[in-house]
Structure 1
């Protein structure tokens, strides 16, 4: 008798197939949700670690030192007293901005490394 022709074997086969489908979907769903929970935990870990991270950079001339956090906020700015020997405020502002950007770039690289450690399958 062909499948679907209404015989008793057909109903038993369809029933087994239905149970197999439900079991397979349940297994896949459980695996999927476990994977999502794992990713969420790793993201929380990365967020918590990033909140504690900072990076410091020095200007090439050593007159400016800037420290930033993971949000790009300036935490500390140190200016060497030698900056007062020249009155070029435009150059000083450019040096300060470049030093802050360098610190942010260093921190971004640190975060990328840590992200790669937490999510190695995504960084390959």
Structure 2
């Protein structure tokens, strides 16, 4: 079984929620894996190149949307890159995330509340 690779974009302030979200893919029965490019140190010039390579290697992107997303330069760049690379996208509202927190870069992208049925349906559609 070939697993679907899904890039997960998020604001660094939401790292705990991202960890919980991605934990689901650790089960060997789940037919997908999540990928991210969490920045552990200040950006350097190679980060965008490496990030784009990871994005290109994915089937889709899920963006975790919270009250922090609109100010998350890295996540906003990842969304733009994913669109440039033609990835299918889904926005998932986490914490206090709602339509008011959706960044401009995600307008026109389906955004839903965080349920595993929503995630499964998106991944099954790929």
Task: Specify if TM > 0.5.
Answer: no
Which one has a larger percent helix, Structure 1 or Structure 2?
1
Which structure's CA Rg is the greater one? Answer: 1
Structure ranking higher in strand proportion: 2
TM-score by length of 1: 0.22
Q: Which has the higher contact order (CA 8 A, sep 6+)?
A: 2
TM-score by length of 2: 0.22
